[in-house]
Structure 1
Amino acid sequence: MPHTTKTPAEKLRELLNRPGLLVMPGCHDAISAKLCQLAGFETAFMSGFAVSASRLAQPDTGLISYTELLDQGRNICDAVSIPIWGDGDTGFGNAINIKRTVHGYAQAGFACIMLEDQVAPKRCGHTKGKAIVSRDEAAMRIQAAIDARNEGADILIMARTDARSTHGLEEAIKRAQIFHALGADINFVEAPESIDEMREYCSRVPGYKVANLIEHGKTPLLSHQQLEEMGYKIAVYPLTLLNVAIKAMQQSLDQLKNGQPSEVLDFQKLTHIVGFDDYYQEENRYRLGDE
């Protein structure tokens, strides 16, 4: 029988080809990715902000390395069967580095890699102090990523520009148009600051477009119907799970400190989520008859 298992990239292309908005939560480790899948989401995004926070307890300011992101991503991709998008920051160097990064993310099991046009070290798109490279260098980065894809890396390319915050919406739209023309699978104008700006982006840039929705960030939080009607294909919520996890842990720690019981999962439910039931079933398959 021929091998018919779809690759992560093939799964993602099928999702993108379907009608309707693709809603994507952010994840930062294997258990958060697994929870996304258990909740019924068909894809998830490994946020660099969230990985830097959870793995290093450090801000998303270029402190986390390619190796650390790749290692975290490998664990995430191994934990689930849904396609995972990976934050590739600036690609970690010149065109040759970018091609290596794209191949590395594909080998780790990612379905898509996001690459951006910030000056390294980069930082979160909704924070202060951003700077971007020239339009030519931004195009070179995306061209190198597309070349890696075309040379065999089985992964989609999401091209992001942070030009809105530094040079205005017009420059951001021009860059997104260039990225699409080069052959990027998905384009992403980061941090538009009004509904009118979101509409302008969607009306002038072809291809699959991403709305990056951060609670209390710069971009308006619109309904899924509004986003789809504007022309967005993907709505990503990169920090929601990290945000609520930190809030819940803080509340629980306060309760423990004050001698109060915490609201927790039933232990049986906890063991099920982390995989004990599957482990026991597999263990029984290999149990010797005289044990």
Structure 2
Amino acid sequence: MAFRQRREALRAILSGSSCIHPASVYDAISIRVAEDLGFEVGMFGGSVASLAVLGDPDITLITLTEIAEQMRRMSRASVLPVLVDADHGYGNALNVRRTVQELEAAGAGGLTIEDTLLPQAFGEAKTQLISLEEGVGKMRGALDARGDPSLVIVARTGAASLTSLDDAIRRARAYEATGVDALFFTGIKARTGLEAIAAATRLPIMLGGTPEEMSALDYLGGQRVRIALQGHAPVAAATQAVYETLKALREGIPPKSLKGLASSELIGRLTRDADMKSRGAEFLGIKK
């Protein structure tokens, strides 16, 4: 029931009239920070997962098991709805079914399935797309695997920057016809392109990054965009902070002289220390 409430909250965003920016989240602490700051939804990106879980670049080395386990950790830590970048579903349409089942069980609010050919084909430097027919099969497989009807399934295409805007619209309309809940576009660089997509489709829209000329939330909301990503700055900031802290310690700076560390009050709040102490008193007889 708790997972369904998160998914219904995500659906309320998609059925609303405004566009929001999600929080880029990747572990238990980052999602609690996002929840405490009032973000409505989290986005667990594939590139962030590769960095946080493997320390590898975003070349589809991460597995479904690793993605699902990290999502499970975040689900335990927070009630914030999370959209998971499930890449290509880790295989063909049958693998997509397994991906949906695992991420649903892990507590994802929703997930995106893209029509990129992954992993990259032998000898091909340029990113490629799978056929429209295979893409449709993946979306149908995703919907068929869904056990909780409130789980959000989002069809994603990068055709606008890889083939053409017309191809992006053609693919989006075909995916829309399968019954997915929203459409996710990457590579939209101008208002004319977004407006053409909005005119040709009916479902809520997600965007993976927007140029400055089309970044205003009011404008995006008017084009039926409900979620607009802003990249993944938090994990980059965290990586830089860890690097600088370890570098300073390695160079002999004493811990008490370090700058920019989280306060004990912030750590206590994010770890829900007060709740743990209350439970300790109630169940273990530990005095506060």
Q: Fold conserved (TM > 0.5)?
A: yes
Distance of 1:186 and 1:284 partners within structure 2: 46
Secondary structure at the residue paired with 1:159? strand
Distance of 1:5 and 1:177 partners within structure 2: 29
For residues 177-217 of structure 1, give each alpha carbon's deviation from its aligned partner in whole angstroms, at most 9, with x where no partner exists. Answer: 1111211101012121233323322232221001212xxxx
User: Is the alpha carbon distance of 1:169 and 1:258 closer, same or farther for their aligned partners in structure 2, counting shifts above 3 Å?
Assistant: farther
- Structure 2 unmatched runs, 5+: none
Distance of 2:126 and 2:74 partners within structure 1: 30
Shift of 1:138: 0.7
Contact 1:29 1:51 (8 Å CA) reproduced? no
Distance of 1:4 and 1:248 partners within structure 2: 34
Is residue 228 of structure 1 aligned with residue 221 of structure 2?
yes
Shift of 1:254: 4.6
The residue correspondences of 1:145-224 to structure 2 (distance < 5 A) are 145-149=142-146, 152=148, 154-213=150-209, 219-221=210-212, 222-224=215-217
Q: Which moved more, 1:176-185 or 1:245-254?
A: 245-254
Aligned residue among 261, 265, 270 for 1:268? 265
Aligned residue among 8, 11, 25 for 2:9? 11
- Structure 2 length normalisation: TM-score? 0.88
1:109 is aligned to 107
Contact 1:8 1:111 (8 Å CA) reproduced? yes
Contact 1:90 1:122 (8 Å CA) reproduced? no
Distance of 1:241 and 1:4 partners within structure 2: 27
Distance of 2:185 and 2:94 partners within structure 1: 25
Aligned length: 279
- Name the aligned partner's letter for residue 239 of structure 1: H
- Structure 1 unmatched runs, 5+: 214-218
Secondary structure at the residue paired with 2:22? strand
The residue correspondences of 1:1-291 to structure 2 (distance < 5 A) are 6-121=4-119, 129-149=126-146, 152=148, 154-213=150-209, 219-221=210-212, 222-256=215-249, 257=251, 259=253, 261-288=258-285
Shift of 1:85: 0.9
- Structure 1 length normalisation: TM-score? 0.87
Identity %: 25
Secondary structure at the residue paired with 1:160? strand
Distance of 1:254 and 1:47 partners within structure 2: 28
